[in-house]
Amino acid sequence: MKRVVYPRAGGIETIQIVEEQDPVPKSGQVCVSIHRAGVNFADLMMRQGLYGSSPDFPFTPGYEAAGVVIGLGEGVDSVKKGDRVLAMTGFGGYSEMVCLDARRVVPIPDSVSFDQAAAIPVTYGTAFHMLVHLGMISEGETVLVHHAAGGVGTAVSQICEAFGASLVVGTASASKKDFVESLGMRFVDREKEDFVKVCNEMTGGRGVHHAIDPVGGSHLLRSYKSLRKGGKLYYFGASAAVKGQKRSRLSELRMWWGMPRFDPLGLMSSNKAVFGVHMGLLEDDSIFKGHLASLSGMLQEGKIDPVIDSVWRFEKVAEAQMHIHNRKNRGKVLLDFSPK
């Protein structure tokens, strides 16, 4: 079987595809033949050596994948050979086959495609965690989201619609205006418009209820300023530290330098909340499993439906990642590992 490997920190030229013996499931494990693996912005940051919680190099990235069970280790009876499943790989999903703990494998209904299954966990799981679990979003509330056309951004727009949000302000690159508007969001050109001003104008000067910021640096303070009293800010990424496909120490420094220090007295007197969110470091697995169960229900009721930007054969993994580096994706990018 083949798998993608990051041998060391670097640009896309460092990515390797290695061939090795098929893995054999150990006791308690399931072996899955992968058909689709999700590509996340975090995978690009890991490749650059910018992601604190990734394994030591060399390693195979890939948080999420969907495929078919082809082997069972001793004691596994939760799934059987031939079942279509979602594999919560943690790492290692960019692979033709993967063996993992049976508890990290969830059967998927026939009505759910491999594309949909591989596109949901990270993006929708994160959006659901912020808006529903932490934020308890309710009808009529207003939301600001950045990278609105991307994986998490499109998930946020659908979850907001499902929960009856009255306004979603979405920032993105200028070329994505029509796409963002087609999702029902108020588009803001991330380079030319001031999103703080737009949020204020659109809410009669009060600000939004929820601001979702994966950018960091001084951008985070502006997201905080877009909030109304009682509003909630979710901080969950560091895209400001990424400039192009190679690591940029200057961008990292700028981001850290610009990070706001929130004043607890200011938070208290405005009843605002600031949440830090890292889905890979949740203490309690059952929280995420609960989100997945809720999302599966929403998918089957037609309340969510992942927007797939593109599916790339895994040999083109570098091009797929460049597509995201170049800010071209509209929705989720997937890798195709299905057997030929």
Ligand X SMILES: NC(=O)c1ccc[n+]([C@@H]2O[C@H](COP(=O)([O-])OP(=O)(O)OC[C@H]3O[C@@H](n4cnc5c(N)ncnc54)[C@H](OP(=O)(O)O)[C@@H]3O)[C@@H](O)[C@H]2O)c1
Residue 132, Cα to own-chain centre: how many angstroms?
A: 16
In degrees and rounded to multiples of 5, residue 103 shows phi and psi of -70, -15
Question: Which residue lies nearer to ligand X by CB, 166 or 326?
Answer: 326
At closest approach, how far in Å is the CB of 263 from ligand X?
24
Rank residues 231 and 237 by Cβ distance to ligand X and give the closer one: 237
**Cα–Cα dist 259/149, whole Å:** 24
Least Cβ distance, residue 269 to ligand X (angstroms): 28
Interacting residues of 316 by C-beta distance below 8 A, sequence separation 6+: none
- Between 42 and 208, whose beta carbon lies closer to ligand X? 42
Edge-to-edge strand order for the sheet containing 186-189? 186-189, 167-172, 142-145, 208-213, 227-235, 273-276
| Pairing verdict, β 227-235 and 273-276 | parallel
Neighbours of 252 (CB within 10 A): 18
Q: How far is the CB of 121 from ligand X (least distance, A)?
A: 10
Q: Which is nearer to ligand X, 102 or 145 (CB)?
A: 145
b/e per residue, 119-133, with b = 16+ CB within 10 A? bbbbbbbbbbbbbbb
CB of 32 to ligand X, least distance (A): 22
Minimum CB distance to ligand X smaller for 39 or for 97: 39
Q: How far is CA 285 from CA 60, 79, 253, 265, in A?
A: 22, 19, 33, 33
- To the nearest 10°, report the CA torsion of 262, 268, 273, 277: 50
Which helix H or strand E contains 213, and what residues bound it?
strand 208-213
173 or 338: CB nearest ligand X:
173
Give the shortest CB-137-to-ligand X separation in angstroms.
Answer: 18
| Residue that the structure tokens 């588009």 belong to | 187
State which residue has the least CB distance to ligand X: 150
Q: Select 236 or 312, whichever has its Cβ closest to ligand X.
A: 236
The residue ranges that bind ligand X (CB under 6 A) are 40-42, 122-123, 126, 147, 149-153, 172-173, 176, 190, 214, 236-237, 239, 242-243, 277-280, 324-325, 327, 329
Reduce the DSSP state of residue 172 to 3 states and report it.
Answer: strand
Q: Which is nearer to ligand X, 202 or 212 (CB)?
A: 212
Q: Please state the closest distance from residue 329 (CB atom) to ligand X, in A.
A: 5
Q: CB of residue 192 vs ligand X: minimum separation in angstroms?
A: 13
For the bound state, the minimum distance from the C-beta of residue 22 to ligand X, rounded and expressed in Å, comes to 30
Query: Do 252 and 241 touch, CB atoms closer than 8 A?
Result: yes
